[in-house]
Every structure is written in structure tokens, then in C-alpha cells.
Amino acid sequence: MPEVTRERWDEIYRQSFPRVFRALVATLLNGETSRDALQEAFLIGLEHPPQDTNPEGWLYRVALRHARRPSRVLVGILPRSARTERDERRLLQRLEVGQLLLLLTERQRSIVVAHYYLGFTQIEIASLLNISRGTVGATISNALTRMRQEASNG
């Protein structure tokens, strides 16, 4: 990836924020945590531009890592979305498999969302999350089995 300028990073922000935010909400099940983690990832990218050829994947991975750490307050640094907590709940409800995603562990959700929502290959997910491709495949298989069982019981 060529050197990322401030202007390019602003463009990446505008293009990627909605999609990566929705993926994080689906994974973390918390809009505020997702927003904070994604904003932190964008700040890290602004300070140290990623050399990754997939900025959305990089943002998703960094935001997931940040979400697992104690939060830092980001006041007035990046624009805050006008979404309310109620709107974020509706976002989860609109996800076709939202209720089934609730059955999965956070790790399973992160992998399933990265694969089916963000369109990453198993190899890309393995690289993003620093796990083996086999682990990604097994996790997807186990998660889908659990979701299918619950769907057939529902």
C-alpha cells in the first residue's frame, strides 16, 4: 500500500467507518464500545498509517484489540455519530442473523462477521487475528452448526 497521507486516511475514514462499525456492533454487541474502539483504531492509523493492503481489515483487527482493553475517553477528537443507543439496538435487530449471533462467543462472532459480513477469506481472517487458517475454518463450522441448530429449534 502506498504511503497513507492525511487526506487518504480521511477518505478511508469516510468510506470504512459505517461498514466496520456495523461489523463491530455485530461482534461486540455494544454500540458505544464499538464506536470507541473504532475511533481509537482510526487515531492509531492516523499516527502510524498501516502498511496493510486492506485498511478495513486492519481497522477491524485493531478495534477488536482495543475493545478488549480498558477504554480511554475520546472527547471531541473524531465526530460522534448521531446514533442513539436505541438506534444501535435497532441496527442489531435488523441484522438478519442478529439473534443467532447472540448465541456465539465474541471470538466466534468476530470470525463469522469478518467472513460473511466483511467478506474476508479464511486466510485473511487468520492473518488479521493471528490464528491459524484451520482454527478459522473450525470456528466458522462450529458457529454455523450452533446457529443452524438454534434456528431449527426456534
> What pLDDT digit, counting tens, does each position of 64-114 carry?
988 877 544 333 333 445 445 666 655 555 555 567 788 899 899 999 988
How do the domains of the chain map onto residue ranges? 1-94, 96-154
CATH 1.10.10.10 at 96-154, yes or no: yes
Mean pLDDT within 112-140: 91
Q: Identify the CA nearest to 38 among candidates 52, 50, 53, 24.
A: 24
Reading the block at residue 4, the C-alpha cell is 497513507
Whether the Cβ atoms of residue 120 and residue 41 lie closer than 8 Å to each other:
no
